[in-house]
Amino acid sequence: MVKKFNISKGNFIIISILLIILGALIYGGNNDWFNINVLIDNNIESPSGGDLEKDIQNPPTNSDCTLDLSENDICLGDTITGVLKDGKNTHCYIFGDDGTGYEAVYEGNTNSNGLWVEDQTINALGDFYFRGLCDKNDNGEYDTEIDCITNQERLTVTDCSTPSPSENGISVGGSEGNGVVIDGSEGIYDHIDLGDLPPTGEGNCKLQALINTDWDYSTLSKEQQLCVGIQGQEGVHFTFSDSEGQVWERIDTKPTALGSATKCGLVWDGKTDFLFTAETTIGFSECEIEINYDVDVVTCQCGY
């Protein structure tokens, strides 16, 4: 008895990717094209009977047929090789699962060496699982004690293409705050952790910091005229460091609000915090300085 598996719209995705995986058959350097019967309409005929529905999910452990993919995690457009191994000239089926359960989606024969081998470039995205089933006595039925179900193979296809320049300027972390600094005090030291962001060099974007600062003398200092006449290099010293050390600094010699940016190319090693600091330089005596700031770490030069 032969059972027809209706291929739903969801299962059409499985059919599509298997048609891509299972294409021209070349093995051992020769051009031996195997006899493959591809049914791409609404039905795939496969064996019925026995405990096929159960066994295709959890097959017996004594299987002597195997299914192997050369890679399990690939990028869209990569080429992989699929190999089903069983007895010679055996009629076999491929079952695929896209998360909704296994369905028969493809069928073909092994060659005289017991191999069904295919190379193909993959142009479909998704997560898929595959098993092979070989009808050893070619009777069109699943015989539990005779026929063979292979191991399960996973294939994950992702889009690894380079981000577009439109992904520049995306915030990946930062900090903001305010404080009062008196000459000789500890100043402001703000550690910025980028969390689970992959280390730079593993993605397709670089990083830079956008830094905005605004400072003035405190109300008390203004009232007591403590800070009148400050000149020269006395002022507030701002710095910014990435995971490897200081990459930016600026000294403001008078109250001002400024925006700055570090060079694109900050180094994030996945564990060492970035650091923003604000300290007074010499000459302020007992001047109180009120500082507001915000730091935004963003992507830059995406697609470099």
- Per-residue pLDDT tens listing for the chain (304 residues): 333 333 344 444 444 445 444 443 333 322 222 222 222 233 456 666 667 888 888 887 767 899 998 888 888 888 888 899 998 888 888 888 878 888 887 788 899 999 988 777 778 778 888 888 898 888 888 888 888 899 999 988 877 665 555 578 888 889 998 887 765 566 899 999 998 888 886 667 889 999 999 988 777 666 555 565 554 446 788 999 999 999 999 888 778 888 888 889 999 998 999 999 998 875 555 667 788 999 999 988 886 5
> What does residue 227 show for φ and ψ, rounded to 5 degrees?
-115, 15
- Cα gap 148→137, rounded to integer Å: 10
Are 75 and 127 in a shared domain?
yes
Domain edge (last residue) among 158, 173, 197: 158
List Cβ neighbours of 197 (8 Å cut-off, separation of 6 or more).
Answer: 172, 173, 268, 270
Q: Are residues 145 and 193 in the same domain?
A: no
Same domain, yes or no, for 119 and 184?
A: no
Residue 17 has φ and ψ, to the nearest 5°, of: -70, -30
Q: For 270, left (φ over 0), alpha (ψ -120 to 50), or beta?
A: left
Query: 133: domain CATH number?
Result: 2.60.40.1930
Q: Which domain holds residue 209?
A: 165-300
Query: Are 87 and 172 found together in one domain?
Result: no
Do residues 13 and 151 share a domain? yes
Positive/negative CA dihedral, 49, 55, 56, 62: negative
Number of domains into which the chain is organized: 2
Whether the Cβ atoms of residue 189 and residue 275 lie closer than 8 Å to each other: yes
Question: Rounded to whole angstroms, how far apart are CA atoms 247 and 272?
Answer: 14
Q: Say which CATH number the domain at 246 has.
A: 2.60.120
What is the distance between the alpha carbons of residues 163 and 106, in angstroms, rounded to a whole number? 35
Verdict on whether the full-model pTM lies above 0.95: no
